[in-house]
Amino acid sequence: MSRVAAADADGAVEIISLRIEVPRECDGWRLDHFLKRRIGRLSRTRIQDIIATQVTLSDGRRPRSSASVHAGQIIHLDRPAPIEPEVPRHFDVIYEDADVLAIEKPAGLPMHPTAKFYRNTLTALLRERYPDEPLQIAHRIDRETSGVLLIARTPSAASWLKRAFARRAVDKSYLALVKGQPPDEGVIDQPIKLLDTPSHVMMGPASDGLKAVTRFRVVQRFAAHALCAAHPETGRQHQIRVHLAAIGHAIVGDKLYGAGERFFMRSCDEESGDGLSDELLALFDGLPRHALHAHRLTFPHPRTRAPMTIESPLPPDLVAYVARL
């Protein structure tokens, strides 16, 4: 199924405005390389065309493709709104007070706008549900990952929580259903980095990568699988997925690090149409998303500074999958 730009009631192409902040790990990159990573699998020619026609800097200038970007810099992108794939548009609130929201993010809901998603994102849903609040998401989890997510309700709470994550004062625990029989417990200490591969999103172990450490222990064993509690001591992109795959125990349903990049890229195309084919679903262990769940967060509360723990149980889709093992 082809994807075209969305139009308003009068048939005019709707334009969406995105503010893309450059993360620390992309400091010093060329603008075209950064956008190629940030907005998906586009050709170099298409990226250069987007920069020439849709990208401006905060001062209103149009940059060159070869311009360097810097951590914290805001890139402004005005582009035609896409027809978006369907996603879950409901989330439950686990806890709330004047400073913090803790929600249960459903698998499949992206957090921020991308080339494929704009309205069907958590940030858009938060604006709809809390239109008068300056909410800020305090950390990130992958689109296919479900579970606990912290959201600050005030600028001061946002600043406190983001600093807490940066200084590793937040204890994160995930539940991951993996293939095979890993050791009862272990520590995976392998630097990882973004790899130069066709998808431009694949991370991998690399001696010159950023330090990454994950502790894990087996919670329950099955004939050919194990449910593990995983505790990332660092917060690298895709860290748990990369580390578990690196020791030979990929997460069930992981399209990128389990089935492989070629099938991951096919799934991106199919999900933009009528959904995953039976063939691809079988390659993904019969699970349409990866079996990773953000189970528990312990963090210092931004007002009281006292430790607070928020938990989310394994969601129904993973409970049902485990019951069949």
Q: Which residues are catalytic?
A: 142
Element of type H or E holding 221: strand 213-221
Residue 45 makes CB contacts below 8 A (sequence gap 6+) with: none
Q: Rounded to an integer, what is the distance from CA 291 to the centroid of its chain?
A: 14
- The residues facing 76 across adjacent strands are 19, 56
* Whole-number Å distance between alpha carbons of 139 and 100: 13
Q: Which two tokens stand for residue 98?
A: 């004047």
- E-only strand ranges, 114-212: 136-137, 146-152, 171-179, 185-189, 192-194, 203-205
Q: Rounded to an integer, what is the distance from CA 249 to the centroid of its chain?
A: 21
Q: Which residue has the tokens 């001591």?
A: 233
Write the single-letter amino acid at 155.
Answer: P
